[in-house]
Structure 1
Amino acid sequence: MNILIVDDEPLSRSELSYLLKQNITVAKVTEAEGIKDALSILLTQKIDLIFLDISLNEENGFTLAKELKQLVNPPLVIFATAYDKYAIQAFDINAIDYVLKPFEQTRINQALKKANTALLNREQLHKEDNTAPKNTADFITLTADEKTAVIKTKDIVSATVESGLLTITTNANRNFVSHETLSWIKKQLDPQKFIQVHRSAIVCLEYIREIQPWFNHTFVLILTNNERVPVGRSFIKDLKQRLNM
């Protein structure tokens, strides 16, 4: 298990790191003192579990926890804090445990056992998803203004959402607008050919012509129809893997 500790107190990070390393399920422990450092690590390393403090100088651990939802395979979260008043809020965002300071070896081991079980369950579900037949289609239909358009999925260049409207662009530079959601179109498309690159955008891999650097160490994709699609920070790692960058 690869673990990231996010805590602004060096002594607290050191104590927790020591306790974690006593457990045989832990392969590597990395430390970050704030959200920016944590996001940088998450984009470059495979992290299975985060021990996350809530009070991070002027930052809040819940901010990072919500950012994690944008990741393709987000790590599990265990809150590790001196305050018990946030426990209900923590479990509302699907944290798997809530550990109070000062840390104890027995309690840390209990938390790691929960995490290991959750990771094994996730791995099993992933295997089942990969072996199950994909429910993707050669065509999709979109109805607007009492007209139904039939679109070949192989012709779709991108699908983007803005102001609650889904726009599908094809290689013939035709745009189809609908009130459907991005998650709806994602389920219709072959995951081997399409990739989500932003919380509001999906693109077809074969229609990516160029990748250019953009703001804050992110990228923008130039598609074959000259459309420009930004890549969200949390999607960079998956994009690089898919394109062998």
Structure 2
Amino acid sequence: MKSAFLSGCLMFCMSAAPAFAEWGFSGGQTPNAFIQTGDMTLELQCDRLRFAPVGYADSEDIVGKQSLSIRFMKNGSTEVGSFQAGQGNATLRIVDNYPVEVVFQDSADYQFVLDQIAANAVLNLSMADQDVSYGLFDLKGSGKAIRSLRSSCGSAPQAGNNTMEAPEGVVYCGGGQIKRQIEYLILDKAQGQWDAIVTVNGKTTRAMTAYSYFGNAEPPRGFVVALLGEDRSEFLVFKDGNKNWLEYGDYQYIQCN
């Protein structure tokens, strides 16, 4: 009986312990600070974070509720601050078939999150409405990685660069809870690998074109081009007769001009 109790306690303590691993930093087109364990990953980009929990069901739960509590702890048990990401201040979505991406509407909110991660010992990503954790991360070494991230993001081209000319052409409208207007333009002169720009609700980002449909897969009827955004967004453009549409995320956007 005592052995069974100790075994159960050990399993609980292990599940409640933060993930111990080293923080790292990766530069390039999409700079990011990250920590990765055998079954979870947290990635901090210039304007958003990505969290891959243990299971896909957790990703679905977070996006379905459109809420994630980001809690900062100075040790394993004392919470010193938090940020509730959800409708009204952030967009939560599943990207690359698994991780949850949190895009902050106000950059000041994200800077607060980065400040707290760098200053504290443990990060708890949990349900907003109850004390159930999706993942705990050790923050030792996060300060150095975040300093590198901020330095790189400060010199990196930003998605909303005002020097870009907004595209003029077919306008696509639609979406779910967040309505969007989307336009794109293929550039006459490529900027390195970026040969297109895409504007979503007035915010412009660079993109590269791909005229093959997911490698060797046979494209569906009407497929024209895929636009792969610098911010890792993906747009699929279609034209069939007089019908023009674009697919972005889980939604289809129909020509509206």
Q: Which has the higher helix share?
A: 1
Q: Same fold (TM over 0.5)?
A: no
Q: Hey, which of these two has a bigger chunk of strand by percent?
A: 2
TM-score, normalization by structure 1 = 0.27
Give the alignment's TM-score, normalised by structure 2.
0.27
